Structure 1
Amino acid sequence: MDVYLPIANLSVNGLVIIALGALTGVLSGLFGVGGGFLTTPLLIFYGVPPTVAAASASTQVTGASVSGVLAHNRRGGVDYKLGGVTIAGGFVGSGIGALLFRFFQSIGQIDTVINFLYVMMLGTIGTLMAREAWASIRASRSGDKPRAAKRRHHPLVAALPGRWRFYRSGLYISPLAPLLLGVGVGILTMLMGVGGGFILVPAMLYILGMSAGVVVGTSLFNILFVTMVTTMMHALTTHAVDIVLAGLLLLGSVSGAQIGDQLAQKAKPEQLRLILAAIVLAIALRMLWGLGVRPDEIYTIAPL
């Protein structure tokens, strides 16, 4: 089923794009990540220009997040107060990211920047995730219970002035910590088309010290609104959002998020993390290889 993408200016197999959206939705429900960190590079591998892939993936992540938030809200797994603070920071970060995107686009380096950021982020996240998952699997096989990590916020968070109580998360910290975290996620969302959940979830756990029961739902709540703003900024400034591509991705992601939420309640988390880490590292290596290989098309023509 061939479908023409007007902004990307190419024809694609619609079923393949829907399948990519479904994969993203499953990851959203399983891990609380928007899934854009896999959707964007996979779209690039398929032949979609990096700028269009990044801008359109953020639209698709919004749909996956809506479905995921509803699922976690039914179990009381969303801290709306803390999520609101990170969203405020995300709006600021999206504006900064839009300026950076336009700058790199004006000097003709935005494709290289997007690919480089993905290699760095996916390589780091995949390595850390694989090491943690493998340690958990070895401990379970040997019969030794891994030592439970104490849930405590980072000393730098404790040093920030002013404190608020976030009852659902069990925190008493400065709102500046989640605000700054939201700014960073907003910048990444604008530049890379990611939801930022693959950074937000571990940061909420190990930096803010949030309760594990509300991390995934709160992350998706943040991703939902930040990707909405990012999409509007892309549409108004970079004009790189392909509505046909985004619609096909959304079609698969909404149903995929519900499937992922069900799988998360049945599967062993350490095995899921190891599988996800392997996928992330494979994509990082593929993108690294692509940065060093001469492309088939040396020059590209992009609309102003």
Structure 2
Amino acid sequence: MEIYLPIAEQSMNVFVLFALGAAAGLLAGMFGVGGGFLATPLLIFVGIPPAVAVASQANQVVANSVSSLQVQWRRGNVDLRMGLVLLLGGMIGSSAGVTLFTWLKAIGQIDFVIAVLYVILLSSIGSLMLFESVRTWFKRRRNPTAPRGKLHTHYLVHRLPWKMRFYKSKLYISAFLPITLGFLIGILSAILGVGGGFVLVPAMIYLLGMPTTVVIGTSNFQILFVAANVVFLQAATNGTVDVVLALLLILGGVVGAPIGSRIAARLPGVVLRALMGVLVLAVATELLFELLRTPASPYSLGPREVLP
């Protein structure tokens, strides 16, 4: 069953797009990420223009985050104070990121930049998460009664001023850390069309030292509002938000997110991190192959864009 996407200017199978949305929603519920790190590359793989995939996928990130956040909020797994501090940096970063996206689109480099950034970020983060999870699993298997070490180390950045207490996370750290982290995630959200959870979640665990159970709900809180800001700015500035595509992805995400949240509640944190690492590496590998594969034709025909 085909449906026409007006902004992407092509027809796509409805069930394929619905399945992509459901997969992204499942990841949102399981790992506290928007799911865009998987859905956006897959949309590109099936032929959606990267600029449209990025902007439209942000809508689905919003819907996934709402659905997953409701579950996490009822369970008390949201550090509201930390979420608001992260959100401050995220709103500034997402606004700057849309401006950068517009400039890259104008000079014709946005598709290349999206692919390269995905390969670099996903391969790095996936490798680190998988390595840490496997190492932790072997340590616990050799000595199950050994006390667990700290999830983070006190670097020099932890000595920064303007310290705040985050009671839910049991932390006393400088607010500059979460603000800077939120700013970087905001830029990624705007350029890559993702919630940024695949960067935010490990950073909150290993850099800020937050408990894994609180991280998932708090990341969903920040991702929700940052992604909503990206959607508004992309639609108003670049006109690349395909509403039909976004609605199909959202419908799939609404189905997948509650299922993912229930699965996450039954799995230990080390297993969740390992699964996420494997998924991130798989997507990065496929993107790298696409980037290095010789195109069918060295030339493409299209309208010439005259820069002002």
Q: Shorter-normalised TM-score: what interval?
A: over 0.9
Seen in structure 2, the aligned counterparts of structure 1 residues 108 and 146 have a Cα distance that, compared at 3 Å, is: farther
- 3-state SS, counterpart of residue 3 of structure 2: strand
For 1:28, the aligned partner's letter is A
- 3-state SS, counterpart of residue 239 of structure 1: coil
Contact 1:157/1:208 (8 A) holds in 2: no
Partner of 1:66: 66
Contact 1:59/1:231 (8 A) holds in 2: yes
Count of residues paired in the alignment: 304
For 1:253, the aligned partner's letter is G
For 1:299, the aligned partner's letter is S
Give the Å deviation of 1:175. Answer: 1.5
For 1:111, the aligned partner's letter is D
Aligned-residue Cα RMSD (Å) equals 2.0
Please give the alpha-carbon distance, in whole angstroms, between the structure 2 residues aligned to 1:300 and 1:182. 40
Give the Å deviation of 1:211. Answer: 2.8
Return 128-137 or 210-219, whichever deviates more: 128-137
Contact 2:31/2:276 (8 A) holds in 1: no
Seen in structure 2, the aligned counterparts of structure 1 residues 48 and 179 have a Cα distance that, compared at 3 Å, is: same
Please give the alpha-carbon distance, in whole angstroms, between the structure 2 residues aligned to 1:302 and 1:119. 29
Partner of 2:250: 250
Contact 1:165/1:173 (8 A) holds in 2: yes
Give the Å deviation of 1:300. Answer: 5.8
- 3-state SS, counterpart of residue 111 of structure 2: helix
For 1:254, the aligned partner's letter is V
CA deviations over 1:130-152 (Å, ceiling 9, x no partner): 21232244345556567623145
Contact 2:28/2:257 (8 A) holds in 1: yes
CA deviations over 1:240-269 (Å, ceiling 9, x no partner): 111111100100112211001111122344
Please give the alpha-carbon distance, in whole angstroms, between the structure 1 residues aligned to 2:151 and 2:140. 21
Q: Percent identity?
A: 47
Seen in structure 2, the aligned counterparts of structure 1 residues 154 and 228 have a Cα distance that, compared at 3 Å, is: farther
Please give the alpha-carbon distance, in whole angstroms, between the structure 2 residues aligned to 1:213 and 1:269. 8
Query: Aligned pair 1:275/2:278, yes or no?
Result: no
Partner of 1:206: 206
Seen in structure 2, the aligned counterparts of structure 1 residues 299 and 66 have a Cα distance that, compared at 3 Å, is: same
Contact 2:35/2:195 (8 A) holds in 1: yes
Please give the alpha-carbon distance, in whole angstroms, between the structure 1 residues aligned to 2:266 and 2:259. 11
Seen in structure 2, the aligned counterparts of structure 1 residues 18 and 280 have a Cα distance that, compared at 3 Å, is: same
Contact 1:33/1:220 (8 A) holds in 2: yes
For 2:73, the aligned partner's letter is N
Seen in structure 2, the aligned counterparts of structure 1 residues 140 and 173 have a Cα distance that, compared at 3 Å, is: closer
- 3-state SS, counterpart of residue 48 of structure 1: coil
Please give the alpha-carbon distance, in whole angstroms, between the structure 2 residues aligned to 1:46 and 1:124. 25
For 2:192, the aligned partner's letter is M
Unpaired runs of at least 5, structure 2: none
Contact 2:164/2:174 (8 A) holds in 1: yes
- 3-state SS, counterpart of residue 281 of structure 1: helix
Partner of 2:300: 299
**TM value normalised by structure 2:** 0.92
Partner of 1:160: 160
Seen in structure 2, the aligned counterparts of structure 1 residues 269 and 82 have a Cα distance that, compared at 3 Å, is: closer
Contact 1:204/1:215 (8 A) holds in 2: yes
Partner of 1:235: 235
Partner of 1:22: 22
- 3-state SS, counterpart of residue 208 of structure 1: coil
Partner of 2:119: 119
Please give the alpha-carbon distance, in whole angstroms, between the structure 2 residues aligned to 1:217 and 1:22. 19
Please give the alpha-carbon distance, in whole angstroms, between the structure 2 residues aligned to 1:303 and 1:178. 43
Please give the alpha-carbon distance, in whole angstroms, between the structure 2 residues aligned to 1:302 and 1:72. 47
Contact 2:40/2:54 (8 A) holds in 1: yes
**TM value normalised by structure 1:** 0.93
Please give the alpha-carbon distance, in whole angstroms, between the structure 2 residues aligned to 1:174 and 1:301. 50
